[in-house]
């Protein structure tokens, strides 16, 4: 994450607390969007989690190739 102040050069933060907070915020925003999109389909949570895990694992495998 880049921190910028007037009349000072930009700095990249290594503050783990800030980075974790930003990461958590991004995850929650993505999950909120996903839940809003999938809710009208009425998919059971167990099925939904299974499909998400499979898709996530598949994407990681493809990236590693």
**Quick one: pLDDT at residue 20?**
95
**Quick one: pLDDT at residue 2?**
74
Instruction: Please write the tens of the pLDDT for every residue from 10-60.
Output: 888 888 998 999 999 999 999 999 999 999 999 999 999 999 999 999 999
**Quick one: pLDDT at residue 13?**
85
> Residue 11: what are its φ and ψ, rounded to 5°?
-130, 145
CA angle, 36 as apex, 39 and 29 as ends, to 5°?
A: 140
Residue 4, pLDDT above cutoff 90: no
Please report where in the chains the tokens 């503050």 appear, as a residue. Answer: 15
Residue 3, pLDDT above cutoff 90: no
Residue 9, pLDDT above cutoff 90: no
H-type alpha helices, 1-65 = 16-38, 45-64
């Amino acid at each position: 994450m880049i921190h910028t102040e007037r009349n000072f050069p930009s700095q990249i933060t290594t503050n783990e607390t800030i980075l974790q907070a930003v990461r958590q915020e991004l995850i929650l925003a993505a999950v909120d969007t996903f839940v809003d999109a999938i809710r009208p389909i009425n998919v059971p949570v167990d099925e939904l989690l299974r499909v998400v895990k499979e898709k996530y694992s598949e994407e990681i495998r493809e990236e590693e190739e």
